[in-house]
Structure 1
Amino acid sequence: MQILRIDSATTGDDSVSGRLTQMLLDHFTAAHPDATVISHDYGTDPLPHLTPVTTGAIRRPEEARTPEMQAAYPAERAILDEFLASDIVILGAPMYNFTIPSQLKAWIDRLGVPRVTFSYDENGPKGLAGGRRVIVASSRGGDYNQGDAGEHQETYLKTVFNFLGIDPEFVRVNKAGFGPEAVEAGLAAAKEEIAKL
């Protein structure tokens, strides 16, 4: 059993999604005390955005890679392999300007690899990365539902993980921008949801 925790908030100790990912990690490690846990905080130590070299490294076959792509391949592929080796992925995803933080997008961009995590046939796209749980720790300053006007955070995450063959689960705190009492109420409600996972 491997649990992968990804945080992406840039708000440090004030991060509501970070508190949610910790609650989720505590829940799953209590249920699986022998699990291997891998954690990355891309809010404080972000991945670089993709470049032609890193894109080619993870998407081109070996014989088509330049020497620079070949040199970049091990580190780029390790990010994907870590995801594919995980049974549970806990994903901290705050809403920033109606969508996800760019540093989280940089991580997700390394997951969509043709013939590895998705493919196409005559019926359209087929996700190849099923067999793991992705639980999204979602926090938003306002009060949103998936698909509301301006909501491009959870809707995007559902779309991209569905494309990869995964149906993500969401634990959320809405109204985080309404003040400390709203945050604590949201976290208390989230704790009840986490207990059911």
Structure 2
Amino acid sequence: MQIYSDYAAHRSRQVAVDVIAVAAIAAWIGLGAFVYSLVIDLARFGEQMESAGSDFSTTMTDIGDRFGGMPLIGGGIRAPFEAASGAGQSLEAAGRSQQEAVLNLAVGLGWGIAVVPVATILLFWLVPRLRFTRRAATTRRLVRAGITVDLLALRALTNQKLSVFAAVDADPVSAWRRGDPEVMRSLAALELKASGVRIR
């Protein structure tokens, strides 16, 4: 599999774009992780709420149990402490809910910040790179199979932009039809260069 062009200038551009793309992907992933870590820190407040509610609920329950065992006043005095214990449990549940909400927000923001830009980079960078690799492999296979100059020239006529032909000939199609050897070689060279394949 040919990843880079055989031509130095084209190869240098490919390497530069690859480095920029990989660096951009790493930067966006790093930013997503950074935002995740910033937001998830807000869950500490929920942890404190949960811990405080649990401790308060346990304390009120213990006090209610102690006073509840006292003769005469035990049954009546236990109710307020049980109510206070219920308030502590509500605070504990609120702390857990806050942690879940912060976690969901942190995950959503972290992935959202990283995934969309990375997917865009992959679309505009990796897809053309894969196309180049496939085209280079096809061209190299055809060259090894003994493709002729006129067929390479025909591939150039079908694959290259019209603006590229101006440097070759004013009417490259007519020149190809009449078998002009110089135009044929120039067109074949264009196709090979675009495919990143150099015939040695």
TM bucket (normalised to shorter chain) is under 0.3
- Structure with a larger share of its residues in helix: 2
- TM-score of the superposed pair, with normalisation by structure 1: 0.23
Larger-Rg structure: 2
- TM-score of the superposed pair, with normalisation by structure 2: 0.23
- Structure with a larger share of its residues in strand: 1
Higher relative contact order (CA closer than 8 Å, sequence separation 6+):
2
